[in-house]
Amino acid sequence: MAYDFRLDKLREECGVFGIYDNDNHDIARLTYFGLYALQHRGQESAGIAVNDGGTILYHKDMGLVPEIFNDVVLNHLKGKIAIGHVRYSTTGASLRENAQPMVVKYRGGQIALAHNGNLVNAAEIRNKLEENGAIFQSTNDTEVIANLISRYCLTSSNIEETFANTVKEIKGSYALVILTPDSLVGIRDPFGIRPLCIGKLNNSYVLASESCALDAIGAEFIRDVNPGEIVIVDKDGLRSVNSGSCRESKLCIFEFVYFARPDSVIDGACVHHARVEAGRQLAREHPVDADIVIGAPDGGLNAALGFSRESGIPYGQGLLKNKYIGRTFIQPTQDKREIGVRIKFNAMRSEIEGKRVVMVDDSIVRGTTTRRIVQILKSAGAKEVHMRVSSPPYKYPCYFGIDTATRKQLVASNNSIEEIREMIGADSLGYLSLEGLLKTPRGARCGFCTACFDGGYPVEVPDKEINSCKGGAV
């Protein structure tokens, strides 16, 4: 009976952070603040691991960053190198066993790993590893990667080679930060599907999924990690290792559409600017005669501003989102389900009443919430509601870290635009073209994965393993 708002939004898997300290910083606190800035990338669990001169200390749990850490815990996590992780909230069972960083002991010593992304050949590798005797305690790709590192360590002459070999074997998207006994390692997949950047705070190096985490701790942005690049920070400073696996750049375009924080700069392009541009382009592609442009909070606000700027139609604040709606939301009883959306959103009648409204959102997944918001606007007196979406129809499941349900649940997979318009009850509906979208990340020094729009997956995607460790904690 519970209505899950989250099914109407796409979710990415995780955020990662790392620091190698040369300035006697309080690295656990810096990691904590970095994770705070990356919290939008995952609200299910969080963790920090530090290397305390040989041994790794860590703390991880289910919940938000501020719920998991306190002064006592942070004071305990002393060390020279730290990594951190935030993980997204699944709709099903949230396994505590899946919280990261994962801390393991292997031939090369004790390491901790934090991973953002998704391997498409994880099941295949698991099978191969199991055929060689490996056991798995979680359903995390991270555990697969740790096993590979352990095995390649045996046959490699140094960690550069170990990581390069590992990179050769795993397919899919990943931004990895790894804490080794004496170094901090960052790895980005050969296509650079997931973002990872390098910063510097005084003499210390920082790695983060997004530049906003650098800003949060006052670190200077240095550059993005390149696709297929392995960066190793140790006592000799930072060095780059070419994994030999780099391919043409294919950054996930959805980082710009929805995932990343608007104040981040990824692969050279400013996220907020890209979103405003997407709104502008949308106005060019799907102009409409209207009185006001509003954004669906929070995903559509930036693009709505762009639409307004381009079209000259005034920008307005037409919808209020209850910011206290959290993860635990008691549902109204069955006959009052519409209360659910009304508690989350309310219309600003004074902005809406009697007007022709353009509502901009970043995407439409199932369409359910969109339909209800259109109803709310009409109830508040909107004469017309023109829906504009700042990305193309989302038609193909993502295998690289976005948690879309099955293709069956993707409304654009199974319906024409006109059918969707009718379903959501809008007076018109316009999606941004892929060509238009690709122009928006101004200054981007990368190519893009657009598979969710056109099905052009950069790597072959097998039928995804459902769940290799089938059971689960209660």
- Does residue 466 bind a copy of itself (CB under 8 A)? no
Report residue 183 CA to chain centroid gap: 26
Q: From the CB of 393, what's the least distance to a copy of itself, in Å?
A: 26
User: Residue 50 is inside which H or E element, if any?
Assistant: strand 45-52
- Does residue 235 bind a copy of itself (CB under 8 A)? no
Report whether 231 contacts 429 (CB < 8 A).
no
Positive or negative, the CA dihedral 351, 353, 358, 364 is positive
CB atoms within 10 A of CB 130: 13
Which residue's CB is nearer to a copy of itself, number 415 or number 468?
468
**From 49-57, 170-178, 362-370, 417-425, span contacting a copy of itself (CB under 8 A):** 49-57
Which residue's CB is nearer to a copy of itself, number 270 or number 429?
270
Report whether 115 contacts 139 (CB < 8 A).
no
Report whether 114 contacts 142 (CB < 8 A).
yes
293-332 residues labelled b (16+ CB within 10 A) or e (exposed): bbbbbebbbbbbbbbbbbbebebbebbeeeeeeeeeeeee
Among 237, 268, 314, 455, binds a copy of itself (CB under 8 A): 314
- Across-strand partners of 428? 386
CB-neighbour burial class of residue 384 (10 A; exposed 0-12, middle 13-18, buried 19+): middle
Which residue's CB is nearer to a copy of itself, number 65 or number 389?
65
What are the Cα distances from residue 385, in Å, to 70, 147, 220, 322, 428?
47, 53, 44, 22, 7
- Across-strand partners of 410? none
- Does residue 26 bind a copy of itself (CB under 8 A)? yes
Among 4, 91, 158, 218, binds a copy of itself (CB under 8 A): 218
Among 23, 24, 92, 132, binds a copy of itself (CB under 8 A): 132
CB atoms within 10 A of CB 93: 12
Contact track, a copy of itself, 62-81, x by CB under 8 A: --xxxx-xxx-xx-xx----
Please confirm, yes or no, whether 270 is among the known catalytic residues: no
- Does residue 464 bind a copy of itself (CB under 8 A)? no
What would the two tokens of residue 17 be? 């952070």
**From 37-45, 157-165, 382-390, 405-413, span contacting a copy of itself (CB under 8 A):** 37-45
Q: From the CB of 446, what's the least distance to a copy of itself, in Å?
A: 17
Q: What is the distance between the alpha carbons of residues 359 and 384, in angstroms, rounded to a whole number?
A: 10
- Does residue 52 bind a copy of itself (CB under 8 A)? yes
Which residue's CB is nearer to a copy of itself, number 75 or number 240?
75
Which residues, 316 to 345, sit near a copy of itself by CB under 8 A? 316-317, 320, 322-326, 328-330, 332-333, 336, 338-339, 342-343
Respond yes or no on whether the N-terminal peptide bond of residue 462 is cis (omega within 30° of 0).
no
Which residues, 261 to 290, sit near a copy of itself by CB under 8 A? 261-263, 265, 270, 272-273, 276
- Does residue 54 bind a copy of itself (CB under 8 A)? yes
Which residues, 287 to 306, sit near a copy of itself by CB under 8 A? 298, 301-302, 305
Q: From the CB of 55, what's the least distance to a copy of itself, in Å?
A: 4
Q: From the CB of 187, what's the least distance to a copy of itself, in Å?
A: 17
Which residue's CB is nearer to a copy of itself, number 65 or number 411?
65
- Does residue 421 bind a copy of itself (CB under 8 A)? no
Among 63, 287, 425, 472, binds a copy of itself (CB under 8 A): 472
Report whether 14 contacts 141 (CB < 8 A).
no
**From 6-14, 51-59, 169-177, 408-416, span contacting a copy of itself (CB under 8 A):** 51-59
* DSSP output for 244-298: S---S--EETHIIIIIS-TT-EETTEEHHHHHHHHHHHHHHHS----SEEEE-TT
User: Residue 177 is inside which H or E element, if any?
Assistant: strand 172-179
Number of residues counted as binding a copy of itself (CB under 8 A)? 104
- Does residue 107 bind a copy of itself (CB under 8 A)? yes
- Does residue 59 bind a copy of itself (CB under 8 A)? yes
- Does residue 444 bind a copy of itself (CB under 8 A)? no
Q: What is the distance between the alpha carbons of residues 59 and 48, in angstroms, rounded to a whole number?
A: 6
> Do the strands 356-361 and 292-295 form a parallel or antiparallel pair, or are they unpaired?
parallel
Among 216, 290, 374, 387, binds a copy of itself (CB under 8 A): 216
Which residues, 346 to 365, sit near a copy of itself by CB under 8 A? 346-351
Q: From the CB of 325, what's the least distance to a copy of itself, in Å?
A: 8
Contact track, a copy of itself, 145-184, x by CB under 8 A: -xx--xx-xx------------------------------
- Does residue 221 bind a copy of itself (CB under 8 A)? no
Q: Which residues are catalytic?
A: 14
